[in-house]
C-alpha cells in the first residue's frame, strides 16, 4: 500500500463484499505479525491502517445515521458519545467485538510493554458540518488514552476535506496525572493553539497529514501525539468515529477529582444552555483529563 507515508499494506480485507455483509466478522482476526507491523508503523510514521475493513453496506448505514443527526441539528456540528445511541449500527458492535478488543490489547502491550487494562473503550462519533464544525477544527490536543482508533464514515471528496494532521509521538507516557495535566494546559493556551495553526497552515511546521478513506480503520498513539483535524467546507459533512483505549491515569485521585469537577460544570452549562434553546455537545476524550 502507498497511503500518505508509503506505509506497507498491513491487512487488506477482500473488497468484494457482495450481499454477505451480515455474515462478515465485525473486525478481522489480525495475526501477531500484522499487529507488530501496525505498531511499528505507528512508531515510525505516526499511524497504522487496516484497509478495506468496513463493508460498503455498513458504511452506507452509518452515513444515513450521520446525515439524519446532522439534519436534526440544522446542519451543524454533532457529537454522539457512547454506543447506546448507535443501536443497530456497525459502531454499536465494534467495541464489543472480541477480535477488535484483542487487537487493541495487543497494540497496547506492544506500545507500552505493560499488561493491557480491562477497562472499556471510550467511544465518540464526531460530525463536522456548518459554521460550528469549523470551530471544532484546528484544535490541537493530546488524547487522554494511549491508543486512538479512527474510523472515517463520511469524508468530502473535494474542496476542504478535513484531513487529520499530527505531530506524532512527541511526548512519553507521563508517570503522573499532574505531569499529563501540565502538558494539556500548556497546549490548550490560545497563544500555543494560534501558533500551531499558523505554522501548520503556512507549511512552516512539517506534520503528518492523513487523508482518510472510508472503509479503512486507522490506529495511532493519541496520548503521545499532538493532533487536530483541518476544517471541511461548511456545506459538507466530515464524520469520524473515535475509539480510545487505555487511560494510564484512570485510577489517579487527582484525575478523578478534576473529572468530577468538569462534569459538574458541564451539567450546569447544559441546564443553562437548554433554557436558551440550544443543546451543548460534548467533544472527544481529548477534553477529558
CA distance 22 to 20: 6
Scanning the structure block, which residue is given the C-alpha cell 475509539? Answer: 243
Per residue in 130-157, pLDDT (tens digit) is 888 788 899 999 999 999 999 999 999 9
Q: What is the structure's pLDDT at 88?
A: 86
SS3 content of the chain, % helix, strand, coil (to 5): 40, 20, 40
Relative to beta strand 78-81, strand 147-154 is unpaired
Q: Which residues contact 45 (CB under 8 A, 6 or more apart)?
A: 4, 5, 7, 168, 208
DSSP state of 123: E
CA distance 101 to 240: 19
Mean pLDDT of 167-183: 96
Q: Rounded to whole angstroms, what are the CA distances from 202 to 6, 30, 128, 140, 226?
A: 24, 39, 23, 16, 18
Q: Is residue 3 scored above 60 in pLDDT?
A: no
Scanning the structure block, which residue is given the C-alpha cell 505479525? Answer: 33
Q: What is the structure's pLDDT at 12?
A: 52
Q: Which residues contact 150 (CB under 8 A, 6 or more apart)?
A: 164, 212, 217, 218, 219, 220, 240, 241, 242
Domain over 21-250 is classified CATH 2.60.120.620: yes
Cell triple for residue 138?
484546528
46 close to 168: Cβ distance less than 8 angstroms: yes
* The dihedral sign for the CA sequence 138, 141, 144, 150: positive
Mean pLDDT of 266-288: 42
Q: Which residues contact 46 (CB under 8 A, 6 or more apart)?
A: 5, 166, 168, 169, 208, 220, 225
Q: Is residue 202 scored above 50 in pLDDT?
A: yes
- pTM of structure: 0.85
127 close to 79: Cβ distance less than 8 angstroms: yes
Reported confidence tier of residue 25, pLDDT bands at 50, 70, 90: confident
Amino acid at each position: 500500500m502507498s497511503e500518505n507515508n508509503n506505509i506497507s499494506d498491513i491487512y487488506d480485507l477482500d473488497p468484494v463484499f457482495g450481499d454477505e455483509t451480515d455474515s462478515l466478522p465485525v473486525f478481522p482476526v489480525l495475526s501477531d505479525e500484522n499487529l507488530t507491523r501496525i505498531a511499528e508503523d505507528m512508531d515510525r510514521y505516526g499511524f497504522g491502517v487496516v484497509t478495506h475493513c468496513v463493508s460498503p453496506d455498513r458504511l452506507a448505514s452509518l452515513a444515513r445515521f450521520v446525515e439524519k443527526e446532522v439534519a436534526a441539528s440544522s446542519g451543524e456540528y454533532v457529537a454522539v458519545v457512547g454506543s447506546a445511541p448507535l443501536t443497530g449500527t456497525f459502531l454499536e458492535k465494534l467495541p464489543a467485538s472480541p477480535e477488535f478488543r484483542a487487537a487493541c490489547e495487543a497494540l497496547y502491550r506492544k506500545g507500552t510493554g505493560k499488561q493491557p487494562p480491562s477497562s472499556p473503550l471510550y467511544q465518540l462519533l464526531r460530525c463536522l458540518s456548518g459554521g460550528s464544525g469549523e470551530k471544532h477544527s484546528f484544535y490541537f490536543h493530546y488524547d487522554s488514552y494511549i491508543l486512538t482508533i479512527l474510523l472515517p464514515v463520511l469524508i468530502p471528496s473535494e474542496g476542504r476535506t478535513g484531513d487529520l494532521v499530527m505531530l506524532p509521538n512527541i511526548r512519553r507516557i507521563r508517570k503522573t496525572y499532574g505531569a499529563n495535566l501540565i502538558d494539556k494546559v500548556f497546549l490548550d493556551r490560545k497563544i500555543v493553539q494560534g501558533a500551531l495553526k499558523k505554522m501548520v497552515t503556512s507549511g512552516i511546521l512539517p506534520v503528518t497529514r492523513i487523508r482518510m478513506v472510508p472503509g479503512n480503520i486507522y490506529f495511532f498513539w493519541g496520548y503521545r501525539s499532538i493532533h487536530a483535524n483541518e476544517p471541511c467546507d461548511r456545506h459538507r459533512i466530515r464524520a469520524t468515529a473515535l475509539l480510545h483505549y487505555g487511560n494510564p491515569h484512570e485510577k489517579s485521585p487527582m484525575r478523578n477529582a478534576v473529572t468530577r469537577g468538569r462534569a459538574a460544570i458541564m451539567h450546569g452549562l447544559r441546564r443553562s444552555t437548554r433554557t436558551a434553546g440550544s443543546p451543548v455537545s460534548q467533544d472527544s476524550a481529548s477534553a477529558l483529563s
